[in-house]
């Protein structure tokens, strides 16, 4: 009888502990969500050598236990499709259906968004996806990167970084799969990228491996042992419903893959795999005329565009350095020295 009572007491304590774990609030920044609820707030970046800023964040705390997934967009504040997609995700996901916790940061670079400045944070002129893991005594971008590292990346089990074509960029939807050489990590991230469902996947093998100099958001997660992928959709300042819906659908399918939502993901079984990417950079100022569009296949030496001076006189033909697929091409005539003209990816066999 004593043993039975002890056994029952032990079971009671186990279930009580489980109940406590399930009943835990989840806080990120000023957003605190109780189990089965969602909350919004801000990651507060304090003032330093330049002004403070607030980054919006939402926490959706599932009614059932499970992993934590972070979705982050708007490092470049005029990549609008991904920003709108994550706004809609905040409204779409019902915590009653969720196992685990969803952290959503829909807009990292609020200055870029409000001032319509592509690529950079207007507060300090830095790229908000190049300064990770950040530093406390840095400029606004670096301080923001540190807070995202500490409060979002390190609180998560998995992460998806969302991007797309900026105001001057025309690209096809694609995803990045980081192949690290860690078999377990690579297997999980490959399942995630397949579940997301984009039919073009770029294999990354050359990103930073030092967690203290991780540079990008996805590598900040990966170098801390957290499977991560990057996805891109949208272009040239548009919020086409097809792009937004693809980002939402992909996110929900990854959540199904991670058992955070019921159902089976519609995985992409036979995507186009892309290996090396050749980046064409302009060596002069001028006016750009494109002769190709994303998803076109080109041969090495093929003319893909040309530059003129400001009087319309052709000054340079732009040719493909390799054979492959056009992933990205400039979306506007404006071209400065050092600007990207095009990305051409070489097709490879499935890894």
Sequence spans of domains, the chain: 27-257, 278-345
Of the listed ranges 101-105, 206-210, 214-218, 334-338, the one predicted with least confidence: 206-210
Sign of CA dihedral 40, 46, 47, 48: negative
pLDDT digits (tens, 9 = 90+) for 241-255: 999 999 999 999 999
- Cα–Cα distance for residue pair 197/275, rounded to 1 Å: 18
- Cα–Cα distance for residue pair 345/330, rounded to 1 Å: 15
Class of domain 278-345: mainly beta
Arithmetic mean of pLDDT over the chain: 93
Residues 6+ apart with CB under 8 A from 33: 25, 26, 27, 39, 59, 60, 61, 95, 101
Q: Are 177 and 193 in contact (CB under 8 A)?
A: yes
Reduced to 3 states, what is the DSSP secondary structure of residue 201? strand
pLDDT at 280: 97
- Burial class from Cβ neighbours inside 10 Å (0-12, 13-18, 19+) for residue 71 reads buried
- Cα–Cα distance for residue pair 199/59, rounded to 1 Å: 30
pLDDT at 108 over 90: yes
- Cα–Cα distance for residue pair 285/106, rounded to 1 Å: 34
Q: Give the strands of the sheet with 314-319, arranged side by side.
A: 314-319, 303-308, 286-290, 334-335
pLDDT at 9: 42
- Cα–Cα distance for residue pair 160/254, rounded to 1 Å: 9
pLDDT digits (tens, 9 = 90+) for 17-36: 443 344 599 999 999 999 99
Under the banding of pLDDT at 50, 70 and 90, the label for residue 267 is confident
Reduced to 3 states, what is the DSSP secondary structure of residue 184? helix
pLDDT digits (tens, 9 = 90+) for 178-201: 999 999 999 999 999 999 999 999
Q: Count other Cβ atoms within 10 Å, centred on residue 286.
A: 22
Average pLDDT over residues 150-179: 97
- Cα–Cα distance for residue pair 118/55, rounded to 1 Å: 18
| Higher-confidence position of 6 and 266 | 266
Closest CA to 246 of 202, 198, 294: 198
Under the banding of pLDDT at 50, 70 and 90, the label for residue 350 is very high
- Cα–Cα distance for residue pair 58/40, rounded to 1 Å: 4
User: What's the gap between Cα 151 and its chain centre?
Assistant: 16
CATH entry, 27-257, from 3.40.1360.10, 3.40.50.300, 3.40.630.10, 3.40.50.10540: 3.40.630.10
Could you tell me which residues are beta bridge partners of residue 56? 42
pLDDT at 269: 85
Of the listed ranges 203-212, 253-262, 314-323, the one predicted with least confidence: 203-212
Under the banding of pLDDT at 50, 70 and 90, the label for residue 271 is very high
- Cα–Cα distance for residue pair 116/118, rounded to 1 Å: 6
pLDDT at 1 over 70: no
Q: Which two tokens stand for residue 278?
A: 């050749």
pLDDT at 191: 97
Average pLDDT over residues 131-145: 98
pLDDT at 266: 86
Most confident of 1-15, 216-230, 264-278: 216-230
Average pLDDT over residues 199-210: 94
């Amino acid at each position: 009888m004593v043993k039975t009572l002890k056994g029952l007491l032990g079971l009671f304590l186990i279930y009580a502990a489980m109940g406590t774990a399930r009943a835990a609030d989840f806080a990120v920044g000023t957003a605190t969500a109780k189990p089965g609820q969602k909350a919004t707030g801000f990651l507060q970046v304090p003032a330093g050598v330049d002004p403070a800023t607030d980054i919006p964040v939402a926490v959706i705390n599932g009614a059932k236990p499970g992993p934590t997934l972070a979705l982050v967009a708007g490092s470049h504040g005029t990549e609008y499709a991904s920003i709108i997609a994550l706004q809609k995700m905040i409204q779409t996901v019902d915590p009653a259906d969720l196992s685990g916790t969803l952290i959503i940061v829909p807009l990292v670079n609020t200055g870029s968004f409000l001032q319509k400045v592509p690529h950079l944070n207007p507060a300090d002129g830095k790229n908000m996806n190049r300064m990770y893991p950040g530093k406390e005594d840095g400029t606004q971008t670096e301080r923001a990167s540190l807070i995202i590292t500490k409060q979002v990346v390190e609180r998560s089990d998995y992460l998806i970084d969302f991007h797309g074509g900026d105001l001057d960029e025309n690209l096809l939807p694609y995803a990045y799969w980081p192949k690290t050489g860690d078999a377990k990590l690579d297997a999980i991230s490959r399942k995630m990228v397949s579940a997301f469902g984009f039919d073009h996947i770029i294999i990354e093998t050359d990103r930073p491996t030092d967690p203290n100099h991780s540079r990008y958001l996805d590598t900040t997660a990966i170098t801390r042992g957290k499977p991560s992928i990057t996805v891109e959709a949208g272009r040239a300042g548009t919020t086409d419903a097809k792009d937004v819906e693809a980002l939402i659908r992909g996110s929900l399918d990854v959540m199904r893959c991670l058992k955070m939502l019921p159902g089976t993901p519609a995985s992409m079984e036979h995507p186009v795999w892309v290996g090396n990417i050749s980046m064409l950079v302009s060596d002069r100022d001028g006016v750009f005329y494109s002769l190709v569009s994303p998803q076109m296949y080109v041969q090495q030496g093929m003319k893909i565009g040309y530059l003129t001076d400001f009087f319309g006189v052709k000054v340079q033909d732009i040719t493909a350095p390799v054979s492959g697929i056009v992933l990205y091409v400039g979306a506007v005539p404006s071209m400065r020295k050092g600007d990207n003209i095009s990305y051409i990816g070489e097709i490879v066999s499935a890894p």
